[in-house]
Chains A and B, each alone.
Chain A
Amino acid sequence: MKTSRSTNRRRPAVAWLTVGYSIAVTFSIIVALNFGAAHLDHLWHVLLHPNDGAFAAERDILWQIRIPRIITALFIGAALGVAGVMAQGAVNNPLAEPAILGTSAGAAFGVLIGLLFNLATIGSISAIVFGIVGGVAASFITFYLSKSRDGQASVVLIIVGIAVSASISAFVGITTSMVSRPDARSVSFWTWGSLALTTNDNLKVLIPIVIAGVVIAWAFAPRLDLLSLGDSTARNIGLDPRRVRRVAIFTLSILVAASVSTVGFIAFLGLAAPHIGRLGFGPRHRPLVLHSALIGSLILLVADTGARTLAAPQELPIGLITALIGAPILILLVRRNLELWRQQ
């Protein structure tokens, strides 16, 4: 791809917005470090001296529980935000998100199969592989079932996707209700997600996979710009829309699989983050990938901090909090800019 001649005349404003989001993320990290079921009197000491033997209990809470959880929230948030960009760009539809294309439900089903047949454990590489296979398969089913003579109609795709997701989610729900194995997690884990059980070991798998997914998405993003002109125009210009769509679906399946196999199903973030990003930074997919990652991280970290502190020591389901935070922001922003995405 060529570089833009005048990328963005509003560059200063956009740069300030990026700085603003970054400061908000940093601030949220500091808040998240401070709050939790246990109160840490010597937070800064154990944070800055992780090898010091003093305050060992506080050190372990911080380094074994709180910090892994914060890093998980940042990376999963980024993964879901970018997955949403891939989904909306791939099908040129503002309603698309991993949960609607069937990808999330398929990934959850894949991971669950892996767990029940003892081929994978939560947060492992093999669980992610099962998730990717399930996510790709379910997305493929959605695309296949919504194909008509004249190609892919957006509305049909969304309706079929919702139905495919619902069916697969039902399988996941029925299966988890029937088995009582603790490692298969609870129904609530698969419905609303939870970051409560993430460990440092999970991070060793999660971080590289999410980075890989985001890098592919970033490299590939300019092609999604062209898909917004419609398949036929994209082909005329020299781009195969089906190939672009395949790569986008695969990338979003990787990101969703990494997320679902570590923390379960977190709704809404994949839909909200790209829209919030587009309103601030415009429609170009390459910057949008990075900004949606930032916005996803921010929302999920704030939500998770809320989930573990609002009713401490009880945990609230994180998917409920992301919906509570994300939905009003999304409605407010979209109301102010109804020309966001023109329907065909």
Chain B
Amino acid sequence: MAATMISAHGITLKRNDKTIAEKFSIDILAGKIQALIGPNGCGKSTALSAIAGERDLYAGDISYDGLDLKALSIEQLAQRRSVVAQSQRYSLGFKVNEILEMATLVSGTAHDIETSIAALDIASLLDRKVTSLSGGEQQRVSIAMGLAQGTPYFLLDEPFSAQDVESVSRICNHLRKLADSGKGILVVAHMPDSDLRWCDEIVRFPTMPN
């Protein structure tokens, strides 16, 4: 029986010939929130993009529900996981509601869009041009783009960096609800353990000796 998880097994990652991770393993389980933590520049984001299928592995395997990542097309991957990048740039002045609709190209229902809008508190921004928003507002739109896709797995890279306390707790509550409904969630975080109590597990990213 295929396991319902993203499984990264013994992955080795290199960037410009520098080894960032060696034989790193992590399982992203349905119904759980995991935080991936570690010092700045240690390669957490690189690992997340590798798990998302954005980056070639030097060694190791990644599978989605038992299927080899390499065998999945861009579209098939998008149906299984959504990614919230650390910084999303918006070059054209699309309206926020247009952006959310673009995000749901292959995955995500009207209901997913509605709940994301509520969770990110962006209902009042829907008719605004995304390029006219503040950094924090743009970040909330990016998170909403990811969550609106309604995929089984969510991979978020430092989604709270420009959010205030209230916004962080609203987003955490929503992620909790998503996990309780069976979604698997990985959050790359840059905050003390005490602020990560809402997560089910904290995974420390191994730092490579220089």
Instruction: Check A339 for interface membership: any CB of B closer than 8 A.
Output: yes
Q: Do B149 and A341 have beta carbons less than 8 Å apart?
A: no
Instruction: Check B82 for interface membership: any CB of A closer than 8 A.
Output: yes
Q: Do B105 and A233 have beta carbons less than 8 Å apart?
A: no
For residue A7, which residue of chain B has the nearest CB? B98
Instruction: Check B19 for interface membership: any CB of A closer than 8 A.
Output: no
Instruction: Check B198 for interface membership: any CB of A closer than 8 A.
Output: no
Instruction: Check B85 for interface membership: any CB of A closer than 8 A.
Output: yes
Q: Do A238 and B89 have beta carbons less than 8 Å apart?
A: no
Residues of A within 8 A of B145 (CB): 237
Instruction: Check B203 for interface membership: any CB of A closer than 8 A.
Output: no
User: What is the distance, in angstroms, from A236's C-beta to the closest C-beta of chain B?
Assistant: 4
Q: Do B105 and A342 have beta carbons less than 8 Å apart?
A: no
Task: For chain B, residues 33 to 71, give those with C-beta under 8 angstroms from any C-beta of chain A.
Answer: 52, 54
User: What is the distance, in angstroms, from A46's C-beta to the closest C-beta of chain B?
Assistant: 48
Residues of A within 8 A of B92 (CB): 225, 228, 283, 341-342
Q: Do A235 and B127 have beta carbons less than 8 Å apart?
A: no
Majority SS at the chain A contact face: loop
Residues of A within 8 A of B104 (CB): 2
Instruction: Check A100 for interface membership: any CB of B closer than 8 A.
Output: no
Residues of A within 8 A of B74 (CB): 235, 238-240
User: What is the distance, in angstroms, from B15's C-beta to the closest C-beta of chain A?
Assistant: 10
How many B residues touch A, CB cutoff 8 Å? 33
For residue B106, which residue of chain A has the nearest CB? A238
Q: Do A236 and B82 have beta carbons less than 8 Å apart?
A: yes
Q: How far is the CA of A4 from the CA of B104 in the complex (A)?
A: 11
Task: For chain B, residues 85 to 135, give those with C-beta under 8 angstroms from any C-beta of chain A.
Answer: 85, 88-94, 97-99, 101-107, 110, 127, 131-132
Residues of B within 8 A of A240 (CB): 74
Q: How far is the CA of A235 from the CA of B101 in the complex (A)?
A: 15
User: What is the distance, in angstroms, from A342's C-beta to the closest C-beta of chain B?
Assistant: 5
Given known pairs A228-B92, A230-B89, the reply for A239 and B105 (CB within 8 Å) is: yes
Contact indicator per residue, chain A 150-165, by CB within 8 Å of chain B (1) or not (0): 0000000000000000
Q: Do A238 and B78 have beta carbons less than 8 Å apart?
A: yes
Instruction: Check B5 for interface membership: any CB of A closer than 8 A.
Output: no
Residues of B within 8 A of A226 (CB): 102, 105
Given known pairs A236-B78, A237-B102, A342-B131, the reply for A229 and B90 (CB within 8 Å) is: yes
For residue B78, which residue of chain A has the nearest CB? A238
For residue B127, which residue of chain A has the nearest CB? A9
For residue A1, which residue of chain B has the nearest CB? B105
Contact residues of A with B, CB < 8 Å? 1-2, 4-6, 9, 92, 225-226, 228-230, 232-233, 235-240, 282-284, 339-344
9 residue pairs A–B, Cβ–Cβ below 8 Å: A4-B98, A4-B101, A236-B85, A237-B102, A237-B106, A238-B75, A239-B75, A282-B93, A283-B94
Across the A-B interface, give the 3 residue pairs with the lowest CB-CB distance, nearest first.
A238-B78, A238-B106, A283-B92
